[in-house]
Amino acid sequence: MQTFLRGRDMITTQEFTRDELDTIMDVAMDLKRKRALGLPHAYLRDKVLAMLFFFSSTRTRGSFEAGMAQLGGHAAFIESRTTQIKHGDTTTEMGEIFGRYFDGIAIRHVDWGVGNAYIRGVAAASRMPVFNMQCEYFHPHQALADLQTIIEKKGDPRGKTITVSWAYASSYSKPQSVPNSLILLMTRFGMNVRLVHPPEFKLPTQFLDQAQENARKHSGSFEIMHDFEAGITDTDVVYAKSWGPLLTTQDPAEDKRITDQYSDWIADERRMAMAKDDAIYMHPLPADRNVEVTDGVIDGPHSAVFDQAENRLHAQKAVMALTM
């Protein structure tokens, strides 16, 4: 267990050692146990978290706000469009000033080619830790909650297979941050990771290379596949969600044309039956119901989505308690 993570930013799990990630999991499990038993755990009494949103949120805002309150602190919701941030506050100004007002800064900014750089700019100027609530490349706290869920449902993740698959959605072109974070984190824990997607929905090469190296170091495997059903066959975890073809096109009309070619990529009961009998279905939510996944799967006996959503609370509390 690592005992000194104070002041650390959480922008991507790739910047934490395996021992440090194990520590986060240990603390997340302990905090979940304490909440179940009604035991107080006000480790961040009188501390305040700034939550800066450039992109709408449900679970992220709710879990960070509730988490800070349960840790004895307070979370301040700040919306970029209704503040002077929209009118020209720079990343240096935000880091310098909010780093003096607050004890931590959490930011959600998913604009392609902008969000991650913004978060890193604030972090470079802040004297307090900065937390990535999702950028265009990473969603680290979601991935940590996903890891916690897999450990709870499947035990030791080493040697287990997770299928991280694209699925069709018609609502909007979603960020690539969840699949990027999943392939990077699960390969650190010795899982056999299958990344499955149509050819146009590839992920950045640098993250693919990092996932391959993670798998080599931690005795897992990393495989890229383009057949949805082959990717699901005999897997332990089905994690099927949509993301945009952002490395192929950033034109909305072309994006829709490409995406609509694969409207049959839906996680349905027939495909779920191809996985192992005790496989679990995961999704970060919200899902496009009966487009991305059928009601029968997301509400069915294999679904872990509500436990997964709950674990956002516990994993985030662990990161904040250890770093703030």
The pLDDT of residue 116: 98
Report the predicted TM-score, pTM, of the whole model to 2 decimal places. 0.96
Q: What angle do CA 197, 273, 151 make, to 5 degrees?
A: 75
Same fold, 13-138 and 142-309: yes
Model pLDDT for residues 137-155, shown as the tens digit of each residue = 999 999 999 999 999 999 9
pLDDT greater than 90 at residue 86: no
The ranges assigned to domains in the chain are: 13-138, 142-309
Model pLDDT for residues 202-253, shown as the tens digit of each residue = 999 999 999 999 999 999 999 999 999 999 999 999 999 999 999 999 999 9
- 268: phi then psi, degrees, rounded to nearest 5: -115, 180
Give bridge partners of residue 224 from the DSSP assignment.
195
pLDDT greater than 80 at residue 84: no
pLDDT band at 30 (very low <50, low <70, confident <90, very high): very high
**306 three-class SS:** helix
Q: What angle do CA 132, 135, 139 make, to 5 degrees?
A: 65
pLDDT band at 66 (very low <50, low <70, confident <90, very high): very high
Enumerate the H helices of 126-204 as residue ranges. Answer: 140-154, 177-186
Model pLDDT for residues 155-214, shown as the tens digit of each residue = 999 999 999 999 999 888 899 999 999 999 999 999 999 999 999 999 999 999 999 999
| CATH 3.40.50.1370 given to domain 142-309 | yes
The pLDDT of residue 243: 97
The dotted CATH code for 13-138 is 3.40.50.1370
Q: What percent of the chain has pLDDT over 90?
A: 94
Q: What percent of the chain has pLDDT over 70?
A: 100
